[in-house]
Amino acid sequence: MITMTPAPAQQMIIHLPQGPMSEAEFLAFCKANPELQIERTAQGEVIVMSPTGAYSGYRNLLIGSMLYLWALQDGAGVAFDSSTGFRLPNGAMRSPDAAWVRRARLAHFTPAEKRGFLPLCPDFVVELRSETDRREDLLTKMEEYLANGAQLGWLIDPVERVVSVFRPDAAPVHLEHPATINGDPELPGFSLELGPIWEPNL
């Protein structure tokens, strides 16, 4: 029998009687539920998240679009949207709201491998806090990215208008009400204007 435990925000943790799903089973589960955003923790817990609201959807698209345009011009890496699954070295499967991976790392994978969840942690990740997210949970997720190889991470919090910047071997830097944020030196030349994030034009 499948049991479900309410989690913070608009999330549900699914408990499977047979234990954690295999990689193939988890991929099939995600494909069978394309309307949901699904992640898996390092312990094998399946976390199901409902679709986002209009504000979060607008912000996600804006951030992803700006990252994509920069990556296209820069050429050193590839940008990914929030529906992309990454299998981290610790066994978790995460879908950051935006991500970027160097092309040199992607070159090691076959086309078949690229059709599934990429078995790596992105070089750069962005998590966007919605009004129903607990900040503490997102901070923990950012630390997980760093522990698994991310070189830069941004936690963008429109609720408190704070951007937290994460880098390996350094304490997070919390910027209050910044107008812009840039990715130098990891993402040279990438800059994100935060005015439309703080005040969506809807």
Model confidence over 71-96: pLDDT tens digits? 999 999 999 999 899 999 999 999 99
Model confidence over 134-162: pLDDT tens digits? 899 999 999 999 999 999 999 999 999 99
Quick one: pLDDT at residue 8?
44
The yes-or-no verdict on residue 183 having pLDDT over 90 is: yes
Radius of gyration of the chain from its Cα atoms, rounded to whole angstroms? 17
Nearest to 100 by CA among 137, 126, 62, 119: 126
DSSP 129: -
Q: What percent of the chain has pLDDT over 90?
A: 68
pLDDT, average across residues 2-18:
55
Convert 116-185 into a string of H (helix), E (strand) and C (coil).
CCECCCCCEEEEECCCCCCHHHHHHHHHHHHHCCCCEEEEEECCCCEEEEECCCCCCEEEECCCEEECCC
Instruction: For residue 184, give the amino acid letter.
Output: D
The yes-or-no verdict on residue 53 having pLDDT over 90 is: no
Could you give the CA distance from residue 153 to residue 125 in angstroms, rounded to a whole number? 5
Distance, CA of 200 to chain centre: 20
Model confidence over 92-128: pLDDT tens digits? 999 999 999 999 999 999 999 999 899 999 999 999 9
Quick one: pLDDT at residue 131?
85
Quick one: pLDDT at residue 197?
97
Which structure tokens are listed for 94? 């995460």
More confident call, 157 vs 33: 157
pTM for the full predicted model: 0.85
Quick one: pLDDT at residue 23?
74
Place of tokens 């990891």: 186
More confident call, 181 vs 169: 181
Domains of the chain, first to last: 3-49 (no CATH), 54-198 (3.90.1570.10)
Nearest to 174 by CA among 188, 183, 185, 161: 161
Could you give the CA distance from residue 19 to residue 89 in angstroms, rounded to a whole number? 20
Could you give the CA distance from residue 89 to residue 119 in angstroms, rounded to a whole number? 7
